[in-house]
Structure 1
Amino acid sequence: MRAADPERVIAAARSWLGTPYHDQASLRGVGCDCLGLARGVWREAVGPEPFPIPPYSRDWGETGPREVLAEGARAMMIEAPPADAGPGALVLFRMRPRAIAKHVGILTAPDIFLHAYERLGVIEEPLTPSWRRRIAFAFLFPQR
């Protein structure tokens, strides 16, 4: 499997800037959560989603030991060492130490990422040391 052109992924991600935050949604300009943003970028950069995402609760990340996001991404994307992740990579964050990874973003530059954040919607911001140390997994979007 070959990786998608990072510029194509970044352009698709940036087209979602300003989309309001909305749980479980994935409609550019209308609403999305962080997973909905990743799904929308997939549709634009890769093609149709490979499987439907089941409904999930706001606290899903606190309810078990399985790395559900990483397992799903691993099944359809190209895993990369987090330290080697560059622009265009999907990164999964642990929001608390020893918790499972439950937030996703897309690197748009070595020290900048884009994500859907509650109350702020889709934003692009610096990948500060605080954010960087939370990265648990990184994946590359595959080519169409």
Structure 2
Amino acid sequence: MLPRQDIVDEARKWLGTPYQHQASCLHVGCDCLGLVRGVWRSVIGEEPERAPPYTPNWAEDLCEETLLDAARRHLTEVPIGRVHEGDVLLFRMGLGAPMKHAAIITEAHDGSAVKIIHAYWGRAVVETHMGLWWKRRVGGAFSFPETPHFDHTNLT
């Protein structure tokens, strides 16, 4: 089993890594997907598939759930209200838009994300609070393979 704290510790190593579209290199550059890919490589090993080239507006241009589909292929989907440290959140940046942003939860309380680590344009990798702006945009939640799973059957 992969300890969730290992995921959080690895994500924190990326803090300060400059934003660079399509990159995934610790302390050199990454985007949000590159951050998740880099953490995957460190805690799990080789990536299960190569990320295809993508433009900054790929989600809007394609109108497809490319990021969501990839997450469903390689991660374990969990209820948004039952997340834990080390889980990955996907975000819709606009109402009805495809998901195009990812973050790793570093702190959660009562099944809700409190802090996340992510990379976005104009910023180095940062750890931020899950404010209302971000909470309104969450579209999916996933666990890395081999992490301990929690009882998600009681969804009251």
Q: TM-score range by the shorter chain?
A: over 0.9
Q: Does 1:71 align with 2:69?
A: yes
Quote how far apart the aligned CAs of 1:119 are. Answer: 1.3
The TM-score, its normalising length taken from structure 2, stands at 0.87
CA distance in 2: counterparts of 1:68 and 1:26, whole angstroms? 18
Instruction: Calculate the aligned-residue CA RMSD, in Å.
Output: 1.3
Quote how far apart the aligned CAs of 1:89 are. Answer: 0.5
| Larger relative contact order (Cα-Cα within 8 Å, sequence gap ≥ 6) | 1
Quote how far apart the aligned CAs of 1:85 are. Answer: 1.3
State the partner residue of 2:116: 113
Where structure 1 has 5 or more consecutive residues not aligned to the other structure, the ranges are: none
The aligned length equals: 142
Query: In the TM superposition, what whole-angstrom CA distance separates every residue of 1:66-123 from its partner, at most 9, and x where no partner exists?
Result: 2111110111111101111121110000111110110000010020000002111100
Give the percent of matched residue pairs that are identical in Structure 1 and Structure 2.
42
Q: Which amino acid aligns with 1:133?
A: R
State the partner residue of 2:10: 12
State the partner residue of 2:92: 94
State the partner residue of 1:30: 28
Q: List 4+ stretches of structure 1 deviating above 3 A.
A: none
Query: Helix, strand or coil: the match of 1:108?
Result: strand
Where structure 2 has 5 or more consecutive residues not aligned to the other structure, the ranges are: 109-113, 148-156
State the partner residue of 1:50: 48
